[in-house]
Structure 1
């Protein structure tokens, strides 16, 4: 099933997982999926390789197993910055052969030490390539606090609209910790004529190093409320984990009340955290979905 169709009558709840690193037991990801499947998410997305690696073989296999073994729709991430058109076609052919219908088209992170060697400069180039040759449902990323390389919010929305015009069917946001950024972004995106589903990406913060890395990579703003939580519990791992879960639940509760299209939870492969959050918001999602179906 194509994920864009899921939003017609419900508030979507989806998850993201990543493949195991090369030096870890591959069975671990299936232990994770065994637990996450209990949630019955609308779909699960799988990042490309491990830690930004260049091999998508594990991504393809895991995405296929999510669909075939667990009966959950899957999405395969595909960063294009170092891919030739031939390599992209090979991966897309393999995804198609495995019955995967949904691809998250990404540029991928630039590496400071080497120049990109692929045929695609932007995610929009990959989206165009896919839509010209295949029948995939194409997801794309968006940034409530604007992409770190954008010159302004207006410029960022212009390029996002370009992604949609190239054929993106469904958007997922980068993480954010202050809902006002998402709500403002969502309103401006609709004014700009971006009318496809926009799913809010939520990452429960469970340790200090994690958030420091995200701030560096994505330019995420830390609201005062969150900073107080971090300062109070940073030396107690269990307390910080539970506080991060509570913070994410508060975010999701407000977003559902505001009528968000869907919630995409970055699980970091921690089923405990994902299940706690889902248990707290499941009834809210159900009520919202029933209302949308009327």
Structure 2
């Protein structure tokens, strides 16, 4: 099933996992998926090749198994920063052969040592290529606090609109910790004529190092309320985990009340955290879905 169809009658709740590194025990991810399938998410997305792009074949296998073994719709990530058109076609053919219908088309992280080496300079180039040659449902990323390389919010929305015009059917946001950014972004996206469903990407923060790395990478602002949580519990792993779960639940509760199209939970392969959050918000999601259908 194509994920864009899910938003017509419900508030979507989805999860993200990542494949094991090349030298890791592959059984661990399947144990995680077994536990996550109890949530019955609307779909599970699989990042592309943890530990390097050469590990991308695991993404395809895991995404296929999510559908065939666990009966949950899947989304396969595909970054294009190093891909030639022929390589992209080979990967897309493999995804198609494995019954995958949904792709999250990404540029991939650019660093000084990792400038684009392939035929796709931007995610929009990959989106256009997929749309012209395949029948996949295409998902794209969006940035409530503006893409780190953008010159500003207006420019960022212009290029996001372009991604949708190229064929993106559904959007998932980068993580954010202040809901005001997301709500303001969603309103401006609507004004800009971006009519694709927008899922809010939520990452439960469970350790200080994790969030510091993400802030540096994505330019996410830390609200004062969140900073106080970090400072108070940073030396107590269990307390910080529980505080991070509580913060994510508060975020999701407010977003659902605001009529968000969906929640995409970055699980970091931690089924305990995912279950705690879903258990706390599943009634709200169900009620909101009923209102959407009415």
Please report the TM-score for the alignment, with normalisation by the length of structure 1. Answer: 0.99
SS at match of 1:182: helix
Q: For the residues of structure 1 that align with 2:128 and 2:264, how far apart are their CA atoms?
A: 24
Q: For the residues of structure 1 that align with 2:54 and 2:224, how far apart are their CA atoms?
A: 38
Larger CA deviation: 104-113 vs 244-253: 104-113
Aligned counterpart, 1:6: 6
- Are the aligned partners of 2:83 and 2:118 in contact in 1 as well (CA < 8 Å)? yes
Partners of 2:72 and 2:249 in 1: how far apart?
23
**1:114 to partner: Cα distance:** 4.4
- Corresponding residue pairs, total: 294
1:91-130 alignment to 2 at 5 Å? 91-130=91-130
2:22–2:55 contact (8 Å) kept in structure 1: no
Partner of residue 77, structure 1: 77
Aligned counterparts of 2:6 and 2:31: Cα–Cα separation in 1: 26
Cα separation, 1, equivalents of 2:117 and 2:74:
29
Task: Return the alpha-carbon distance in structure 1 between the equivalents of residues 52 and 159 of structure 2.
Answer: 24
CA–CA distance in structure 2, aligned partners of residues 58 and 278 of structure 1: 27
1:208 aligns to what?
208
Give the CA deviation at 1:271.
Answer: 0.2
Task: Give 1:293's aligned residue.
Answer: 293
Q: 1:121 to 1:293 in 2, by over 3 A?
A: same
Structure 2 CA distance for partners of 1:143 and 1:52, relative to 1, 3 Å: farther
SS of 1:72's equivalent in the other structure is coil
For residues 106 and 119 of structure 1, the distance between their equivalents in structure 2, rounded to whole angstroms, comes to 13
Distance 1:13 1:128 in 2: 27
Q: Which residue of 2 aligns with 1:232?
A: 232
What is the rounded CA distance, in whole Å, between the counterparts of 2:46 and 2:234 in structure 1?
Answer: 29
Matched position secondary structure for 1:103:
strand
CA offsets, 1:227-259, max 9 Å, x none? 000000000000000000000000000000000
Cα deviations by residue, 1:190-244 (Å, 9 ceiling, x for unpaired): 0000011000000000000100000010000000000000000000000000000
TM-score (norm 2): 0.99
Looking at structure 2, the residues matched to 109 and 254 of structure 1 have their Cα atoms a distance apart, in angstroms, of 30
Going from structure 1 to structure 2, the CA distance change for 1:52 and 1:258 (only over 3 Å counts) comes to farther
Aligned Cα root-mean-square deviation (Å): 0.7
* Shift of residue 63, structure 1, vs aligned partner: 0.1
2:40 is aligned with 1:40? yes
C-alpha distance in 2 between matches for 1:89 and 1:124: 16
- The CA distance in 2 between the partners of 1:233 and 1:14, in whole Å, is 28
Provide, for residues 13-59 of structure 1, a one-character-per-residue CA deviation record: whole Å limited to 9, x for no partner.
Answer: 00000000112100100000000000000000000001443331000
Query: 2:249 aligns to what?
Result: 249
Partner of 2:171: 171
Where in structure 1 are there 5+ consecutive unaligned residues?
none
**Corresponding residue for residue 161 of structure 1:** 161
